Structure 1
Amino acid sequence: MRIATNTIYDQSTNAMNRQQSALLKVGSQISSGKKVNSPSDDPLATSKALAITQSAAVNEQMKTARVSVRNGLGQEESVLNSVSDALISAKTSLIKGSTGTLTDADRSSIATDLQGILDTILGQANAADGSGSYLFAGYKTTTPPFVKDASGNITYVGDNGVAAQQVDSARLMSSSDTGDKIFQSVTGTATMVARAAGGNTGTATFTTPAIDNTSDPSYRQPFSIVFSDNAGVTQYSVNGGPAVNYVAGDKITANGMSLNISGQPAVGDTITVNAGGATDIFASLKSAIDALKSPTSTQAQQAALANTLNSVANELSNNLDNVLTVRASVGTRLNELDVIDTVGQNRSLNYTESVSDLIDLDYNDALSEYSLRQIGLQASQKAFVDVQSMSLFNFLK
């Protein structure tokens, strides 16, 4: 078979071009540090690397979200710490105010201290983050969640929505809690609190309700004690039940609970018992402040003061427990973020390693192949020179 000279030249040139192209490709890989510099180099590896890169980007977004949530929870934890300290100070002031030897001026001074504590808690309840968004307003982050009217009553005007962010692939976490949950509610099993009705005129005082029978079907259900008069004999009824003669100091039992009542109640005087009492921190403190500012020149006024301060002290204990419960929830979420951060870091490392396995260059293999390609190019060039020199004219003499 006859092979044309042009064919020999073309094949030799193509062989050199292939070797040179392969050498340049390896050189490009060495200079970039990547074995895949364009999708055409390895379409499958490129596709896999792109999917992993997208997953890594989502992981970074969730990392940013965790930073945001951690900042919000950190600010909330700081506020709740201050509120806890304020409630403890308020309870101390109530104990001082219950001292029987104090004058009206002394109690007025204590009321001023409590007013300062109330204002402090209100300020903390209306705390905002660095961007000016109110922490405890739900979705209404542009307006203060608590407002005070002309009478000093404080109302929650935020909503019940809780801002939450995706901190992991299967975890949506709230970065704060609503103000009504913290400052105007009591969660869990709250202490039963007895309170005298606002119109009571007698001198009756009462103790904190005690647990008598947890197996009572109506255990911890609210009840009311109403006093009446029957032919000069003071009586009382529980939740509208039959009237019973009242004896000062006797223990009155209902719904698995009991409390001791002393003094002489007036007709129509009412004492209510329920779990947690008033759940509003601001309302409880305001009632204590008003009571301390009121004169105590009569026994009835002294009894009203003692009952109010005792009730408020129990209510603040429940409020403090509630704040600590929310604070514990914040701490749990912060700890969970630490765990998720660790998982996220490991996931990020795995993504980086997977992309590296697909795209990055193994220099040992690349340098070895580079040397091999150099030898191949040199061999093809030598072969071309040898073929080029082959001619019949070299043998004619």
Structure 2
Amino acid sequence: MRISTVTMFEQSMTSMNRQQGDFLKVSQQIASGRRVVNPSDDPQAASRAVGVSQAKAATQQYADARVSARNTLSQAESVLNSVSDAVTSAKTLMIQAASDTLSDVDRQSVASELRGIYETLIGQGNATDGNGRYLFGGYNDDAPPFARTGGDGVAGVQYNGDDNVRAQRIDASRLMPVADNGQTIFQSVPSGAGYVARAERESAAGDISLGTQEGYLRNEGSVTFSGPSRVDPDNAAFGESFTLRFEEDGGEMRVRVADPNNPGDLYDEVYTSGETISFGGISITLRGEPEEDDQIQLRPANAEGANQDLFKSLKDAIDVLELDQQGQPENRAHFRNTLSSVMRELDNSLDNVLTVRASMGARLNELDVVDAVGGNRMMNYERTLSDLVDLDYNEAISEYSLRQVGLQAAQKAFVDVKGLSLFNYM
């Protein structure tokens, strides 16, 4: 069979191009460090690598989200630490103000210090994170959640945020709350809080100086109370709200408490100063001289009508600390009753703040756990991706040497073939 010179040249060029292509492919793999440089190198591995890369990118996004969540929670937890310190300081000042050795001027000085704590708490309630968003406004985080309202003496505070909890997805299956709303922190009490008593009174202007959310309660006498205390949680009426009334009957002052579940009175006895009375699973100690139709409201601390507002509690305390008590037993009784109520409300508020703060600490711990799991998952993805597309350098270098020899052999063969000619023998 005759083989033409053109055919020999074409086959030699084809062999050299193939060897050079294989050699360049191995060179490219070594330069990039990847076995699969193009999808055509290994279609199945390339396809799986795309899926793993997407999962790895999503895991990295969740890791970034956890960094943001940790920053927000850390800032909020730091603010709540300051809030708990402020409430503790307020309780210390109120214990100091309750001393009978203090004059009206001394109590006004304490009220001035308490006002500073009040302003501090408003500032803490309007704290922002590193991005300028308000921490405790829920999803209404573009404006201060707590705004001052009009009023005599110390201005009141109104919550303008929403009741939602801002959340962030920190993992595929976990949506974590990262900032509790201000209503939950500053205007709520823990579910296990007990009873709180309130004895409101009418001011000289005719309004309610420490107004209740459920209407007018008259208290113009000098009765003070201690408690209430829990004595029988299994009582059928325990957990209800009660109104304790003083009514004169036949020349005697009686204490009456209506039964919230049945017609008639749950308690109806002659009043004796210093006596502890019990009804509905709770007890309260009364002292002093009441007036006809004076009332004391007793509610569970988490009842709808009870005061759960930390700012209102402090405002009430400041208002009564500034009252003139010299020679006015009614004001003195009003001061005692208000301090007793506010101290309980501050205890409940502090417990609530500490509960929320503990929840934030638990979430910070959870972030550490999820971070560890996410780190392990990222390592697994990287290992899988490496197995799919990364290069085995030992094998690649051997292949490189082999392809280099093959290319050199093809080049040498072409040189030899090119030299074959009959003219050399003529």
Q: Is the 8 A contact 1:146 1:158 kept in 2?
A: yes
Say which is worse superposed, 272-281 or 315-324, in terms of deviation: 272-281
Q: Is the 8 A contact 2:137 2:162 kept in 1?
A: yes
Q: Is the 8 A contact 1:227 1:237 kept in 2?
A: yes
Q: Which residue pairs with 2:292 in the alignment?
A: 267
Q: Is the 8 A contact 1:220 1:257 kept in 2?
A: no
Q: Which residue pairs with 1:210 in the alignment?
A: 229
Say which is worse superposed, 113-122 or 317-326, in terms of deviation: 113-122
Say which is worse superposed, 14-23 or 92-101, in terms of deviation: 14-23
Name the CA distance, whole Å, in 1 between partners of 2:174 and 2:329. 59
Q: Which secondary structure state, in structure 2, belongs to the residue aligned with residue 274 of structure 1?
A: strand
Name the CA distance, whole Å, in 1 between partners of 2:194 and 2:13. 96
Name the CA distance, whole Å, in 1 between partners of 2:416 and 2:58. 59
Q: Which residue pairs with 1:233 in the alignment?
A: 252
Name the CA distance, whole Å, in 2 between partners of 1:117 and 1:374. 82
Q: Which secondary structure state, in structure 2, belongs to the residue aligned with residue 76 of structure 1?
A: helix
Say if 2:283 is the partner of 1:258: yes
User: What residue ranges of structure 1 are gaps of 5+ in the alignment?
Assistant: none
Q: Which residue pairs with 1:374 in the alignment?
A: 404
* Structure 1 position 320, deviation (Å): 0.1
Q: Any residues of structure 2 matched to 1:165-184 within 5 Å, and which? A: 165-184=168-187
Name the CA distance, whole Å, in 1 between partners of 2:116 and 2:409. 94
* Structure 1 position 369, deviation (Å): 0.7
Say which is worse superposed, 112-121 or 43-52, in terms of deviation: 43-52
Task: Describe the superposition over 1:163-182 as per-residue Cα deviations: whole angstroms up to 9, x where unpaired.
Answer: 22211111111221111111
Say which is worse superposed, 96-105 or 345-354, in terms of deviation: 345-354
Name the CA distance, whole Å, in 2 between partners of 1:46 and 1:289. 72
Specify the code of the residue in structure 2 equivalent to 1:115. Answer: R
Q: Is the 8 A contact 1:197 1:269 kept in 2?
A: no
* Structure 1 position 307, deviation (Å): 0.9
Q: Which residue pairs with 2:209 in the alignment?
A: none
TM (norm. structure 1) is 0.94
Q: Which secondary structure state, in structure 2, belongs to the residue aligned with residue 137 of structure 1?
A: coil
RMSD over aligned Cα atoms: 2.0
Say if 2:196 is the partner of 1:196: no
Q: Any residues of structure 2 matched to 1:1-397 within 5 Å, and which? A: 2-151=2-151, 152-198=155-201, 199-239=218-258, 241-242=264-265, 243-276=268-301, 277-296=306-325, 297-385=327-415
* Structure 1 position 226, deviation (Å): 0.8
Task: Describe the superposition over 1:303-354 as per-residue Cα deviations: whole angstroms up to 9, x where unpaired.
Answer: 1111110110011000000000010111111111111111222222222222
Q: Which secondary structure state, in structure 2, belongs to the residue aligned with residue 209 of structure 1?
A: strand
Q: Which secondary structure state, in structure 2, belongs to the residue aligned with residue 100 of structure 1?
A: coil
Specify the code of the residue in structure 2 equivalent to 1:348. Answer: M
Task: Describe the superposition over 1:282-306 as per-residue Cα deviations: whole angstroms up to 9, x where unpaired.
Answer: 1111111111111112222211111
Name the CA distance, whole Å, in 2 between partners of 1:219 and 1:319. 22
TM (norm. structure 2) is 0.88
Q: Which secondary structure state, in structure 1, belongs to the residue aligned with residue 179 of structure 2?
A: coil
Name the CA distance, whole Å, in 1 between partners of 2:372 and 2:394. 33
* Structure 1 position 160, deviation (Å): 1.5
User: What residue ranges of structure 2 are gaps of 5+ in the alignment?
Assistant: 202-217
Say which is worse superposed, 8-17 or 309-318, in terms of deviation: 8-17
* Structure 1 position 154, deviation (Å): 1.0
Name the CA distance, whole Å, in 1 between partners of 2:165 and 2:234. 38
* Structure 1 position 70, deviation (Å): 1.2
* Structure 1 position 385, deviation (Å): 4.9
* Structure 1 position 127, deviation (Å): 1.2
Name the CA distance, whole Å, in 2 between partners of 1:292 and 1:389. 117
Q: Which secondary structure state, in structure 1, belongs to the residue aligned with residue 299 of structure 2?
A: strand
Q: Is the 8 A contact 2:194 2:230 kept in 1?
A: no
Q: Is the 8 A contact 1:222 1:273 kept in 2?
A: yes
Say which is worse superposed, 58-67 or 374-383, in terms of deviation: 374-383
Name the CA distance, whole Å, in 2 between partners of 1:257 and 1:321. 21
Number of corresponding residues: 396
